[in-house]
Structure 1
């Protein structure tokens, strides 16, 4: 066969394939069920600013989708999947803020069109008020890891940008990042490895702290900014891990010891207190209240590890903090007793409106990503009552979470997809503390993206602007080993 004949054949087949999915929907047979779309966006609530909810339909040769707004506007797409134009999508969602979008889905199968029952998506009145998300993306592993790093994603589009990747410094692991109340003008993360350090970037100025302080007995991890930006809370942990011998469990992480403290980045002083550094208890994962006058943290009675790892169970405590003087209160209160329930609490995150603390509850330990039974709970700080968030939980590991700045949206990780990989889900929170059905972070081609990805997402957080970070020079600075010394006050 001649070359030009081959090209004509390829072009002809391509044109036929394109034509096969650009046809009018005629005589569609009604199917009395809703379409089995991926991702499952049926009945979710979204912010008007979110990227298009593109989806696919299994076993369909062609998909035809019409979206109509309850307050006006209409979209029509046809193709291998529902792939909406970003500008058209946002015009429709903004027009229907506080209303609904009705999706009519038809599928071409074996030459016959079928029309499914309509489904709706609500467009919330609550604004997102954030530019995007930051998160760590890493292939599941234990001691050795391949490519990983910190990334940021524009929530209005599908654009993702690396903040820093471990390919810049051999053996580097990047984790434990945090912005000040979603404002990345104050940003911190920790680097593990031969060139370990804790990075502080404040208003464009960057410095690298020595990875560990002998007086602390470890590194500065699990950061959380004070709302004023004058302080950052940390814990220092002697972390170990072990492996299970049963099929449904893989790895266990525990601390030989851990303490909580507050750091002043201006003076480079570590502010410790005997109440937060007790020899028989492990204090962990500190967070400030939105007004900055309370420090919440987890605490656990030290056990004989690894033999009694299942007895590692954490409660939620609080101590007052005076930002004017940098001094702690004189007593510690337990505000949620998970141990009395035979459970362990982890990852406390206060809402920025001061109403709630969102946390994860599990059977034991605090590395919830490895616990299939981990679920989300909500503590009402006004009533002291806590409840399981059955409306957003699944039968797989639901864990790491954070609030947006107006406290009406959360992002969290879940392994509900396949039980192996942690993906990001968002949900809306109404004025009474009720959560909407979670939805998977939209992607341009979601089926392809999530099925072909070998990475898990964790430690997600919202950011009101894009993180401005010079990764190239930062990589050089990490390799230089020039570090700022910290001192204990």
Structure 2
């Protein structure tokens, strides 16, 4: 009996040694969490996410030793210059610990001496990601001249990134405003600016290039959002201008001399307008459909004298009924969130696909939130009417453009919280009560190197349930050809 007890104690002792200090000799215990980049301490992740590789923020360390233990079993151990996990091993560990936790033990060696920090945990969510990856635009944060930029997609289970289309396809081209139907890229749209302007629609691999502007609209088709049926796509048409601040903490301001909202019917190339959505004294903008397709949400503000009174440009959230059977709008507009009464402006409304919420950005004025440090994320509960600031995911710098995944348990959004200059992508989970987890930075294979050396900002992110199949070479030839399909405008009777 005594011999068995000795063996058991030896086994436990060996396990503890392996779990806490494997490959580490006589570490000094430090009563603080490790200083790592990115900050993954206490975040919640989906099973399918790429490894949470990280670096020490101390440039003088000689080595890092990391042990990850699953609350439901499994362990990873590595030692090197950074935490660089094997993708297959990582996914085996997250799958084994779905609904549990991963505990990280981090040691660093400096001047030959190991230090062991307090453990931290990462929760592995029960909610599946249900998406292949992300799409986004990547662009240098310039103002009037842009260098290499384009639309890209990223496999969220690993670190692979693929271009959808880049401006190297057509010199001087800018691409923006991309959107898929409820994260399904079989129906995909984006806008092309420049000498060969167009609005591209792709359905099941077949592309159409629409004229970039329609004289009856007075502008182009921008800020698209698909109807859940795929039979319609909502747009706004904007006469956009930009100005530049002289204040050190403010850089650029975007405002519209005018803007209207409409719905486009791809099958007939028909633009469906309505006088309620195209008013003289108000700017309607950024339309989105409800998940059942029977409501069109959009933001609107009183038209101002620009650029003199740009700080008076403040938007509310409105809605109007929409009948997908007839393509007709309702007879009245309702304001469902009055941001102006708070002295604020609302932008980028995005309904969750389960119909529970609308996620939006709130700022002091305007709608182009990416350069507004005060911009934050807010949530409207459509069942109770309650509106609250999402303090659990907001930062002191610009938190902006966002989208939901298809099961409405994950969001992706842009934030400048990292350095105040570049907008980067963060993900967070949402539980059944509408509570959000601590956001985490989009993982990269070598995160410190990647983000320090990148000169690009990420914006307009969205989830995609599969890889976007797009022939960029053929698309480039089609753009240069200037062969375009015209659109027609109609105003259906009530």
Match of 2:354 in 1: 353
Query: Which moved further from structure 2: 183-192 or 59-68?
Result: 59-68
Q: Distance in 1 between matches of 2:23 and 2:42?
A: 27
| 1:58 CA displacement | 2.5
Query: Which moved further from structure 2: 354-363 or 55-64?
Result: 55-64
Match of 1:30 in 2: 29
Match of 2:305 in 1: 304
Match of 2:8 in 1: none
| 1:203 CA displacement | 1.1
Residue 6 of structure 2 is aligned to residue 39 of structure 1: no
Residue 316 of structure 2 is aligned to residue 315 of structure 1: yes
Q: Distance in 1 between matches of 2:298 and 2:235?
A: 10
Residue 207 of structure 2 is aligned to residue 206 of structure 1: yes
Q: Which runs of 5+ in 1 are unaligned?
A: 1-22
Q: Distance in 1 between matches of 2:90 and 2:130?
A: 18
Question: Which aligned runs of 4 or more in structure 1 are off by greater than 6 angstroms?
Answer: none
Q: Distance in 2 between matches of 1:61 and 1:176?
A: 45
| 1:245 CA displacement | 1.4
Q: Distance in 1 between matches of 2:42 and 2:305?
A: 48
Residue 371 of structure 2 is aligned to residue 373 of structure 1: no
Deviations 1:24-81 (A, max 9, x none): 2111110110100000000000000000000011232100000000000000011000
Q: Distance in 1 between matches of 2:57 and 2:436?
A: 29
Match of 1:235 in 2: 236
Match of 1:12 in 2: none
| 1:241 CA displacement | 0.6
Deviations 1:326-361 (A, max 9, x none): 000000000000000000000000000000000000
Cα RMSD after superposing both structures: 0.8
1:56-71 alignment runs, 5 A limit: 56-59=55-58, 60-71=61-72
**Secondary structure in structure 1 of the residue aligned to 2:479:** helix
Indicate if the aligned counterparts of 2:23 and 2:65 stay in contact, CA closer than 8 A: no
Match of 2:146 in 1: 145
Match of 2:252 in 1: 251
Deviations 1:405-445 (A, max 9, x none): 00000000000001000000000000000000000000000
Q: Distance in 1 between matches of 2:416 and 2:218?
A: 34
**TM-score for both structures, normalised by structure 2:** 0.94
1:8-27 alignment runs, 5 A limit: 24-27=23-26
Match of 2:128 in 1: 127
Q: Distance in 1 between matches of 2:472 and 2:232?
A: 24
Deviations 1:246-266 (A, max 9, x none): 111111100000000000001
Match of 1:262 in 2: 263
Match of 2:416 in 1: 415
Indicate if the aligned counterparts of 2:46 and 2:128 stay in contact, CA closer than 8 A: yes
Q: Distance in 2 between matches of 1:396 and 1:370?
A: 9
Q: Distance in 1 between matches of 2:434 and 2:197?
A: 40
